[in-house]
Amino acid sequence: QQPTYCNGPQHIKVLSTMASTTTRQGDGTITVTPSNPSLQSATIIICHGLGDSAEGFSDVAEHLASQMPHVKFILPTAPTQKVTMNMGMAMPSWYDIVGLDKRSNEFCKGIEESQQRIEQLLKDEHDNLGVPYDRMVLAGFSQGGALSLYTGMQLPSKLAGIVIMSGYLPHESGFNIANGLHDTPIWHGHGAADPLVRITAANESQSAVKAKGAT
């Protein structure tokens, strides 16, 4: 079946295929929903990396939706803000990045606001659609993976899992695992030759999360 396009209200654009419906909202959020909403029994939120947008993972989400027709995918876009590490240039960023060393990683202005935004997306899925927290996954790439780890382990309820792609633990001093979440499944993949976020950062993050009590 060929995809069909239509323009919805309030700058919402919709793409429909046999398996799913893709909706683009004015704030940059993309949702890929089962064409038959009654089939939804799970939700996956994917957070993009620094300087990217939800569009960077739209193809991935649509492909996964074709294989998992019961899953709704939510792809938020980070707010545009100045990033210290990039000479103060404004770009989509979940929080400010001062540097990539461990000490600089403690300064993450804006991370609490992004954390609250992701928490609200999860809460809306639970409260409005009845999706249990243990049927939701929080995933992300690079800075988005860092936000997913930081947020996912500090929720009021345990997720089905957290997926971190080339990410790390940000703002370690402000990170504490919530009660009952210590055994949350975490998949953390990282390239050994990553030139930006070094694999040592991933190893240090793993040690730090375990030191906080993750099992």
pTM of the model: 0.91
Give the pLDDT confidence score for residue 19 in this predicted structure.
82
pLDDT tier, 100 (very low <50, low <70, confident <90, very high otherwise): confident
List, for residues 34-48, the tens digit of each pLDDT value: 999 999 999 999 999
Residues 51-73 have a mean pLDDT of: 96
Give the pLDDT confidence score for residue 12 in this predicted structure.
64
| Degrees to nearest 5, angle at CA 169 with 179 and 59 | 105
Residues 25-30 have a mean pLDDT of: 96
Give the pLDDT confidence score for residue 16 in this predicted structure.
60
Among candidates 173, 146, 76, which has minimal Cα distance to 117? 76
Give the pLDDT confidence score for residue 27 in this predicted structure.
95
Residues 19-29 have a mean pLDDT of: 95
Cα 54 to Cα 107: distance, rounded to the nearest angstrom:
25
Give the pLDDT confidence score for residue 101 in this predicted structure.
85
Residues 200-204 have a mean pLDDT of: 94
pLDDT score of 7 more than 60: no
List, for residues 113-166, the tens digit of each pLDDT value: 999 999 999 999 999 999 999 999 999 999 999 999 999 999 999 999 999 999
Which bin fits 175, alpha (ψ -120 to 50), beta or left (φ > 0)?
Answer: beta
Give the pLDDT confidence score for residue 15 in this predicted structure.
62
pLDDT score of 9 more than 50: no
pLDDT score of 5 more than 50: no
The Cα-based distances of 114 to 6, 17, 58, 168 in angstroms read 30, 31, 20, 16
Give the pLDDT confidence score for residue 115 in this predicted structure.
98
Buried/exposed 83-106: b ≥16 CB within 10 Å, e otherwise: beeeeeeeebbbbbbeeeeeeebe
List, for residues 183-192, the tens digit of each pLDDT value: 999 999 999 9
Give phi and psi for 66, each to the nearest 5: -70, -25
Cα 41 to Cα 106: distance, rounded to the nearest angstrom:
37
Q: Which two tokens stand for residue 78?
A: 């980070």
Q: Which helix (H) or strand (E) holds 75?
A: strand 71-75
Among candidates 153, 53, 44, which has minimal Cα distance to 94? 53
